Amino acid sequence: MLIVYFVDFGVTHVVVPVLLQPYLGPFIDLGWLYYVYMAAVAIFCPQSINMLAGINGVEVAQSLVIAGLLIANDVLYLAPITPYPHPATDSHLFSIYFLLPFIGTSLALLFHNWYPSKVFVGDTYCYFAGMVFAVVGILGHFSKTLMLLFIPQIFNFLYSTPQLFGLIPCPRHRLPKFNAITGLLDVSVTEWTVPPSPLIATALEILHKLRLVRIWKNEEGHIVESTNLTILNLWLVWMGPMREDRLALSMVAVQIVCGFFGLLIRHRLALLVFSEDNRAFGPGV
């Protein structure tokens, strides 16, 4: 994909925010750093879908929301909303050509993958969906807009980093646990076989008070368990145990709200930083 971008486009300059333009000019060429950024996007998109996973329907549902919002953004660059010809129109048509078949196949999959699931998607669909988004975002020249539609996934990654980087024990699976008695999903936990360092313990205490994590202590006051750091577990910390389909629907709602907020940032709040919306003058970003 990056080779295709290099051969067909090769554009590595970005628009500079208005406040910095007197010092850097209207554009700055990032050169090879732009390819590093695009490689990071191509890695992040599949992995982030795969990280926000583990309950029936959530992988496909979040992907459908992202795809739908991308198409909504694409439509803004088509006639009659944006008069043709426009430099970004063909790029957004390219995006639509990819996303419409993706939505069709994903809807059919969701029918069988929704709770109670008869088909399980595994890593394969997550990587497939993530790369579809990476391809349309990078080759369609709107990778930054794409990232604004990944707000829950970005939060989930940042929230998970203490476990991903070994500061907190990280079990193989961190998905919520099923309570066979109540039939509900509840938070899953990681066990501290060795008490955390004073710094980590203090951080967990603060997060516990902020209701960003839940901890359990033994009689000596040492932390023995803490909730796994995923957005699914965090939602259960806030809302309490719930059925699997309700948790999936909650994540869909979060994805929709964050997605519309991302589009608001892209087409309205960005005007506080940049002089124009690119619908008026140039390729999508």
- Mean pLDDT of the chain, nearest integer: 93
What integer pLDDT is reported at residue 280 of this predicted model?
58
Decide if pLDDT at 223 tops 80.
yes
Decide if pLDDT at 285 tops 90.
no
Q: pLDDT confidence of 279, banded at 50, 70, 90?
A: low
Mean pLDDT of 215-235: 97
d(CA 186, CA 190): 13
Q: Per mean pLDDT, which range of 21-30, 147-156, 195-204 is the poorest?
A: 21-30
Decide if pLDDT at 121 tops 50.
yes
Q: What end-to-end distance do the CA atoms of the chain give, in Å?
A: 17
DSSP per residue, 18-75: GGGHHHH-SEEE-THHHHHHHHHHHHHHHHHHHHS-SSTTHHHHHHHHHHHHHHHHHH
Proportion of the chain in helix, strand, coil states, percent, rounded to 5: 60, 10, 35
% of the chain at pLDDT higher than 90? 78
d(CA 219, CA 207): 21
Q: Per mean pLDDT, which range of 72-86, 102-116, 192-206 is the poorest?
A: 72-86
Q: Is the dihedral of CA 127, 129, 134, 139 positive or negative?
A: positive
The token duo for 79 is 């006639």
CA 256 to chain centre: 12
Q: What is the pLDDT of residues 144-184, one digit of tens each?
A: 999 999 999 999 999 999 999 999 999 988 999 999 999 99
Decide if pLDDT at 275 tops 80.
no
Q: Which of 182, 223, 193 is nearest to 205 (CA)?
A: 223
Q: What is the pLDDT of residues 261-272, one digit of tens each?
A: 999 999 988 888
Q: What is the pLDDT of residues 235-245, one digit of tens each?
A: 999 999 999 99
Q: What is the pLDDT of residues 36-61, one digit of tens each?
A: 999 999 999 999 999 999 999 999 99
Q: Which is it for strands 215-217 and 27-29: parallel, antiparallel or unpaired?
A: unpaired
Neighbours of 10 (CB within 10 A): 8
Q: pLDDT confidence of 227, banded at 50, 70, 90?
A: very high
Q: pLDDT confidence of 282, banded at 50, 70, 90?
A: very low
What integer pLDDT is reported at residue 283 of this predicted model?
45
Query: Helices 32-51 and 122-139 meet at what angle, rounded to 10?
Result: 150
What integer pLDDT is reported at residue 273 of this predicted model?
80
What integer pLDDT is reported at residue 17 of this predicted model?
86
